[in-house]
Amino acid sequence: MRRARNAQLIENQNDLKSKRNQREQIKAAIDEAKDSRAVNTQTIRRDTLDALRHGDLAGARALRLPGLSAFPDAIFGLADTLEVLDLGGGTLTRLPDDLGRLHRLRVLFGSGNCFERLPASLGGCAALTQVGFRGVGLREVPA
């Protein structure tokens, strides 16, 4: 009886160790994924900006540039085709006054940036039908 009980205790300890190891592996995998996602976002942004600057994205209808600190003027090179622009997750505080040059722009995402005021330049985008500025700390929306 005592041997059976000791064997059961040892088995329970091994199960706990196994579960602890699994939790540690899962936590490590999550941390690695977070690091990878940050690296991937930086890589995507750099690669996309390089392609944009070299004209490799000519004719693009959608553009995703996460994590920007400044609006790249090269985006205006897509003025005749760009319909969806995602600038989320950066530190942008303003958009250019001549944003209306993107005359086909229908959707603009600026969530996760640092806009305290909804940019007045949005009024110059005649085709704009949808904007997303969630989590930016807006304090004012111009008339």
DSSP codes of every residue in 89-129: SS------TTGGG-TT--EEE-TTS--SB--GGGGG-TT--
Place of tokens 């690091």: 35
CA 137 distance to own-chain centroid = 17
Does residue 134 or residue 140 have the better pLDDT?
A: 134
Predicted confidence (pLDDT) per residue in 4-18, tens digit: 777 777 777 777 777
Predicted confidence (pLDDT) per residue in 73-123, tens digit: 999 999 999 999 999 999 999 999 999 999 999 999 999 999 888 888 899
pLDDT, position 24: 72
pLDDT, position 40: 46
Calculate mean pLDDT across residues 24-40: 53
pTM score, two decimals? 0.69
Q: Is the dihedral of CA 51, 52, 53, 55 positive or negative?
A: positive
Q: What span, in angstroms and rounded, lies between the C-alpha atoms of 54 and 95?
A: 22
